[in-house]
Chain A
Amino acid sequence: MSPTTRLAVLGCAVCVFGLLVYAPGVCGPLMLDDRPWLTANTLVKIDGRVADGWRAASLSYDSGPLGRPVAMLSFAADHAMAGGFSSCSLKFVNVVLHLVCALLIYPLFMAILTSLQLGPSLATRRLVALTAAAIWFLHPLNVSTVLYAIQRMAILSTLFVFAGLALYARCRLRWAETGAATGQVIALALWLIVLTLLAVLSKENGVLLIALLLVLEVCVFRGKWKGGFNRGIYVTACFALIVPAIAVLALLTAMPHALEIGFAGREFTLWERLMTQGRVLWIYLSWIVIPDINAMSFYHDDIVTSTGLLAPTTTLVALIAWPALLLLGWYLRSRFPLLFLATLFYLVGHSMESSFWPLEMAFEHRNYLPAIMVCLLVAYLFVSAAQRVPKLNMAYPITGLILVLSLLLFVRVQTWSDEVSLSHASVTQQPQSPRANHMYANALLRHANVQEGSALSAQERNESLLVSRHFFEKMYQADQGDVAALVMLMYLDATHFAQLQTYADWLPPLTASLQSRRLQPTDWNALELLFDLAGENEHILTAAELDDVLGILQDRYPRSAEILRYRYKVRAGREGSPDELLSLLQQAQVLAPNEEWVYRLTLGQQASVGDVEGMYETTRLWLLNDPKRYHVNELKSLFSLQEKELKTADE
């Protein structure tokens, strides 16, 4: 067997092996953001027969500024083909896309290694490229991207970025020797625009493709053109890479308020985030280089926020170390170019989600794209080191590396194959993480509730509920203002542990927390649940208590339509008068004219009292305030239903 064939076989084996390792996790649970954007998103759940359904589905993600229509379209296709959302089909597609990404980075790595003339031979370069692609493909850190259905957005975006990088590298490698005609350059630019658009429309940080191309130009191709050096290309690339960085620094210095606005709803400030990210980036890097699966988790909200350069002290070290590493890379760029490439690529790859945007502190999926060059660096070092060992058959160390990674991957995939095991692992690995505790407690609660009608014994069910309560209480002990913990404890005690209600009254700490705490999205979710449950169940809260809680919220957030919705739910659950209910919805409509729930509830309310004129007016307003016509199909079916009813009445 020739070395090329051997590599091809090894490559195929890695692909098949990777797919097999991922297989147990494919039917794992749907979690967190999978619910609002997939399983609870009526717009994306289409059968595919009506053309406009695809449009509405593709626009049904309104969290990002561009709506991520490419990713949403892929979810809609999933639903249409499978006849519903199943985690198996969603995650299977994710795994396949992950494989496609791995296949795309191989030619990219080859072009980089060839251009930098690394490795003594073509066979070595191929081996390094394959090893690097395999490391990335089998890396356990990517599990939280690949097996988290909604993260298809990140995968798709990365796929198009990889395609763009691979295309650029391939053309650039050739042009470094031969040069290119104007038409070829324009054509490449146009293709890159196409891929950037696709990447951005999958997830906004696809825009990084442009910056990463510059990184390749600065670190790999370095102005090589037609067998010589073109200073114009090199200087322009350096300039284009540095100017935005300087612009951001200038903005931070001159107008920090502009960037600070978005942090009003966060528990950390802009500067705290920037300082913390200095450390977080090192933590990420350590996970990439040393894939310690015990450190990996669904949540990393237990990472301590840096409140000053010396609090904690590692902040300063981390912040100094990054420029130092960059300078070292720059200094060694001729002798050891991969260091500079990996560092710059990693930092630029993180420049959107790990910088001044008011996002949460840490998520593993943020490494999906930036990690590739680190993998290349590791693979290069590994192969180079192995080659120095005399008479060593390279198949052994590489197979060994792949097997170790696969084993780690397998263990992590197993964890991700079941909600309880995943949340248990998270809480074990991150015992201080409030979200991990919440996730595990919730999973147990769901487990107990699901088992309610099953053959599970009452004792097992009670155990589940008890452990769940324990973890909620643990959350409460860690943070006595934690709204999610308080709400769940209130619910559990009222429904399952009535005798405990005499010992613990959760309402005073809840009201106290609502008066002072900076409420986070998780807190709002918990409140939503509270009003859902309490609206129909007086054991949880009495009408007067609910009014008090709502009053506190309304005083704090007088412009919030959500609170009016809660009030509506509570009133509706406790037989409020139609006029009162309608008045609440009308107030909400004024505050939030773009929220579809306002119209849906108003229509229901008007229908219940036979107010046809009002229903028409509400529908008109809904249509008016839905300029992208997300809900036009729903409105159409509403009228079709009305027409059918009229016809039946006529008959």
Chain B
Amino acid sequence: MSSSSRLLSFALFALATLLLTLWIYWPGHTGPALLDDTTSVLVIGDLTGEPGMAWDYVTGDTSGPLGRPVSIASFVLERLLLGDDLSHSKQINIILHVINGGLVVWLFALLLRHVGTTCYLGLALALGACWLLSPLYVSTVLYVVQRMAMLAATFMLLSCISYCYFRQALAAGSVSIKWLVAAILSFVLAVFSKENAVVVLPIIVLMEALWFQFRDHKGQTMIWLQRATLTTMALGALGLLFIFDYESLAASYQHRHFDLNERLLTQSRILWDYLGQLYVPDVGRMGLYHDDYTVSTSTTSPPTTRLALVAWAMVLGLGSLCLIWQWGRYLVFCILWFIVGHSIEGSVFPLELYFEHRNYFPGIGLFLLAGLPLAACTKRWRETSSPLMVLTAFYVVWLATHTSSLVQVWSNHPLLILHHLNGHPDSFRANTDMAVQMANVGEFDAARKYSERAYSVSHSERVGDQDIRELALACIANEAVPPAIFDELGIENARRPFGTVVTLHTLVKLLQDETCPEFDRLRFANRLQQLFLDEKSIATASPNMYMGFALLENTLQRWEVANRYIDLMLAAAPHDTQGLLMKLHFVTALGKVAAADAVKSRLIELQNQGKLTVSEQQTLALYLEN
């Protein structure tokens, strides 16, 4: 076959693969909004009237330390151009996944061509298709907010691809500034999409050390490059040692039901689980909720912890041994791609234990790893390339069947809820979701049953939070709440009766919207007032919780009480601009001119410091005009 016909057939197969992926994923666009979608995506309002507020959203996200402006900008653009239909967001995610699949194939082709595989294009496509159609990524692609992880991966892949081209030129003796700039620019965009994209830097360094192995196009070692790379690696390792502070990290786990050591032990198991789910998927367990994952409290509890640790030790040993051989170094690179890819979210930081989307970028390394024996085989025996491609295609089809069924599950909210509940019967979130669903269809008793189950499997939920949730469920189901329920609120954990802000805010929102006419809002508000504002009260709450109470009182037009809640909130968070604006609203409503002027001057001061968003400035302007 001539090279042009080979290219043509590759292009046709590649197009078919991408279209197949699109076809399989497309039904997923009808799926629901989930978890952080509400706080990061759905919070973006209609911008067509006020496009100036777009900047607020782009710079105002607090999901990560850098604010993820690139990802948020994509959501904002989408709102501006396509409107606020969630299905558009999912469609864009699906298209982005297909684009990422194309980039993975491109990167694989560059890497495999370097190792001298004759049918590198076909192999790259086959391995890329495995990645593209892996069912583990359904929860990334169809969970809108994970656009952040996907966009980060897009730019990380572009960064890697640019480096490959830069490296090609370097091997031929020229320095290609344009590819270097492209690599750096992509890196910056990746980091501003999601912070953990920073792992692409060590991955590129490892790519140089273990894949390109400092060779030029004649196979000679470029000594300066070798020294520069090894020095970078050494400096990186020293830097990590320097900034690693066990005590402060351990302290940051106070809100988790596990500590730093337990997290590390558990992650050793979770990484194996991810690996298994990538190669031999068990779709029944897949989903968004893994909060029921058993924490490893020691090396023997559960016993698989020890096994996992021993297996990693063996990987370390065998990997070290493999460094002797050229193909062994390729192998180590693939493994390290996976491990380094998980080094932010799967290591010392006090994040939740398990999320499938964390594999979106690291998984690429595992599929490249699976392709290495094939690459070696086709390099040595060219005739084997076609049957091996066909056999890989069988595997791709097998993965695709899992993905397509999972997409169907994700395309329908009740079905997804039931799937989560079946796969994770001990998940707090799965049970809570089911409770809400039951309330939505008017089955309050069933909703309470699942709410109680959620409480019983929860690691840290307070009784008060369960009570608030059940009040919200009663409101959703429009059930009358017996007065005794209100009276019993906050009796347990008297000092800190409530801990979950989201549930309270949901309930307040429902009451604001008058979703449940049967609900005695006044009695509920009075009970909260009794708990938090009574002279003998010992109960306290977080600033956001106080804000929720204030919003409730605002709905009831009891501004005096609302003002007292906001005072409590501002005592804990004096620079909170939202709180200050609410304070301004309440004191103005109460006719307290002096107090209003004081708040206005404080807000003007903050505005001059550039700490007010556009919408906050607009709100403030309304008060200043009066």
Residues of A participating in the B interface, judged by any CB pair closer than 8 Å = 50-52, 54-56, 58-59, 181-184, 186-187, 190-191, 193-194, 197, 612-613, 616, 619-620, 623-624, 627, 629, 632-633, 635-636, 639-640, 642, 646
Contacts and interface: CB of A to CB of B under 8 A. Distances in A.
A50 B30 CA distance: 14
Given A191-B386, A616-B443, 18 more contacts: A50-B27, A51-B23, A55-B400, A55-B405, A181-B383, A183-B380, A186-B381, A186-B383, A187-B387, A190-B387, A193-B391, A619-B414, A620-B422, A623-B415, A623-B418, A632-B409, A635-B412, A646-B441
B408 A187 contact: no
Interface string B339-380: 000000000000000000000000000000000000001001
Contacts of A52: 24, 27, 404-405, 407-408
B381 A51 contact: no
A58 B437 CA distance: 33
Interface string B399-420: 0110011011101111100110
A183 B382 contact: yes
B421 interface: yes
A56 B408 CA distance: 11
Nearest to B21: A51
A619 B418 contact: yes
A182 B390 CA distance: 20
A187 B385 CA distance: 8
17 contacts: A51-B23, A52-B27, A55-B400, A186-B377, A186-B383, A190-B388, A191-B386, A191-B387, A193-B387, A193-B391, A612-B442, A616-B414, A623-B415, A624-B422, A632-B408, A635-B412, A636-B415
Contacts of A633: 408
Contacts of B20: 51
Nearest to A191: B387
A616 B412 contact: no
Given A51-B404, A52-B24, A629-B405, A187 B418 contact: no
B383 A184 contact: yes
A633 B284 CA distance: 16
B623 interface: no
A191 B405 CA distance: 29
Contacts of B405: 52, 55-56, 629, 632
B384 A55 contact: no
A613 B446 contact: yes
B391 A616 contact: no
Contacts of A616: 414, 418, 437-438, 441, 443, 446
Contacts of A187: 381, 383-384, 386-387
B438 A613 contact: yes
B394 interface: yes
Contacts of A181: 381, 383
Contacts of B606: none
Contacts of B391: 190, 193-194
A636 B384 CA distance: 43
Contact of B401 (A55, A624, A639): A55
Nearest to B404: A52
Interface string B5-27: 00000000000000010011011
Interface of B: 20, 23-24, 26-27, 283-284, 377, 380-384, 386-388, 390-391, 394, 400-401, 404-405, 407-409, 411-415, 418-419, 421-422, 437-438, 441-443, 445-446
A397 to B, nearest CB: 43
A321 to B, nearest CB: 42
Pairs of residues from A and B, 4 with the lowest C-beta to C-beta distance, nearest first: A183-B381, A190-B387, A187-B383, A52-B404
Contacts of A183: 380-384
Contacts of B438: 613, 616
A379 to B, nearest CB: 33
Contacts of B413: 639
B384 A190 contact: yes
Contacts of A51: 20, 23-24, 26-27, 404, 407
Nearest to B447: A613
Contacts of A639: 412-415
A632 B408 CA distance: 7
A635 B383 contact: no
Contacts of B381: 181-183, 186-187
Contacts of B284: 627
Main secondary structure of the interface of A (DSSP, over half): helix
Contacts of A636: 408-409, 411-412, 415
A619 B416 CA distance: 12
Interface-centre pick from B388, B414, B419 (highest chain A CB count, 10 A): B414
Contacts of B390: 194
A643 to B, nearest CB: 8
B226 to A, nearest CB: 35
Contact of B409 (A55, A190, A194, A629): A629
B277 to A, nearest CB: 16
A199 B421 CA distance: 38
Contacts of A612: 441-443
A619 B415 CA distance: 9
Nearest to B444: A613
Nearest to A52: B404
Given A612-B441, A624-B422, A186 B404 contact: no
A42 B413 CA distance: 24
Contacts of B445: 613
Contacts of A624: 422
Nearest to B418: A620
A627 B422 CA distance: 11
A55 B404 contact: yes
A58 B422 CA distance: 25
B475 to A, nearest CB: 17
A623 B283 CA distance: 12
A193 B386 CA distance: 13
A640 B412 contact: yes
B27 to A, nearest CB: 6
Contacts of A186: 377, 381, 383-384
B137 to A, nearest CB: 16
A410 to B, nearest CB: 40
Contacts of B24: 51-52
Contacts of A184: 383
Nearest to A189: B387
Contacts of A182: 381
B434 to A, nearest CB: 8
A620 B449 CA distance: 15
Nearest to B377: A186
A331 to B, nearest CB: 39
A56 B438 CA distance: 29
A627 to B, nearest CB: 6
Contacts of B418: 616, 619-620, 623
Nearest to B30: A640
Contact of A629 (B380, B400, B408, B421): B408
A190 B413 CA distance: 43
A59 B24 CA distance: 17
A194 B387 contact: yes
A616 B438 CA distance: 9
Contacts of B377: 186
B421 A620 contact: yes
Contacts of A193: 387, 391
A139 B424 CA distance: 58
Nearest to A201: B394
A305 to B, nearest CB: 42
Contacts of A194: 387, 390-391, 394
B443 A613 contact: yes
A473 to B, nearest CB: 50
Contacts of B412: 635-636, 639-640
A607 to B, nearest CB: 13
B323 to A, nearest CB: 28
A193 B441 CA distance: 52
Nearest to B449: A613
Interface-centre pick from A52, A623, A632 (highest chain B CB count, 10 A): A52
Nearest to B401: A55
